[in-house]
Amino acid sequence: MSFDKQPTLAGKLLTLRPVQEEDFDALFKAASDPKIWEQHPAWDRYKEPVFRKFFEEALESGGALLAIDNSTGTVIGSSRYYGFDSDRSEIEIGWSFLAKEYWGGRYNKEMKHLMLEHAFQFVDKVLLLIGPDNIRSRKAAEKIGAVEAGTRKNAYGMESLVYEIEKGT
């Protein structure tokens, strides 16, 4: 069975659906607060040209999902499946962000729960690669049950911490 990297997933708080070209303005609006990116290696992603490159890469990845607040229909962020490895039975979830007003756990927890539930239909392990200085993302990963499991170079060749979640844990 092949991994469906762009499903539509719905929860109580939010819906995830494939990112489309026409989503740029709404997603950039959600991403335009510098606070979102201050601990991220791409700290200037709140700037339109930098975000446009991120957005184009998301479209090209074939695994990017848009996060929409169910109560308002507002675009609040995105996430992505990446690096499906059938031999190792694993996939990465990453490039995730939420607008600052949606921080605090509930929305991230549901977004990751929906993505994990979907992923575990196809793989036994999900990885999250996080910059060592990104304390917020590291804590968020731990809140959803991810365990630090070493280091690995990310898609940009930068050393990242690897957090893992195994099926059934």
- Are the C-beta atoms of residues 66 and 75 closer than 8 Å to each other? yes
CATH number of the domain residue 69 falls in: 3.40.630.30
pLDDT of 78 strictly over 90:
yes
**Of the candidates 91, 96, 52, the residue with the CA atom closest to the CA atom of residue 78:** 96
Q: In this structure, are residues 161 and 132 in contact, taking their beta carbons and an 8 Å threshold?
A: yes
Three-state SS at 58: helix
Domain assignment of residue 80, given as a range: 9-122
Poorest-pLDDT segment among 50-54, 62-66, 128-132: 128-132
CA-closest candidate to residue 163, choices 113, 136, 128: 128
Q: Is residue 23 part of a domain?
A: yes
What single letter denotes the amino acid at residue 137?
S
Nearest residue to 95 (alpha-carbon basis) of 1, 148, 160, 150: 160
The closest of 154, 7, 120, 122 to 66, measured between CA atoms, is 7
What is the total count of domains within the chain?
A: 1
- Shortest CA distance to 119 belongs to which of 145, 90, 159, 160? 90
14-35: pLDDT as tens digits: 999 999 999 999 999 999 999 9
Does some domain include residue 92? yes
Q: Is residue 55 part of a domain?
A: yes
Q: How does DSSP classify residue 21?
A: G
Instruction: Decide if 46 is inside a domain.
Output: yes
Backbone angles phi, psi at 137, to 5 degrees: -70, -35
Rounded to an integer, the average pLDDT of 85-93 is 96
User: For 91-123, what is each residue's pLDDT tens digit?
Assistant: 999 999 999 999 987 999 999 999 999 999 999
Residue 131: is its pLDDT beyond 80? yes
